[in-house]
Amino acid sequence: MIEKLFIHWLKVLIDQNRHIRGIYNGLNSASITYLISDVETLKAEMQTMVNE
């Protein structure tokens, strides 16, 4: 039996309120760069909410 490969190339960033913050192509390095930047932005927003 040959197993089928399933590649998860689509990445979705969801915030603590279950809002989609971005959709990214995991096979594209520029898209991953945007994902990393958006994660840092989301982390900063969450930290601001904790400190208020």
Q: What does pTM read for this prediction?
A: 0.78
Model pLDDT for residues 9-52, shown as the tens digit of each residue: 899 999 999 999 999 999 999 999 999 999 999 999 999 988 88
Delimit the domains of the chain by residue range.
28-52
DSSP character string of 13-28: EE-TTS-EEEEEETT-
Q: In whole angstroms, give the CA distance from residue 37 to residue 3.
A: 35
- 3-state SS, residue 3: coil
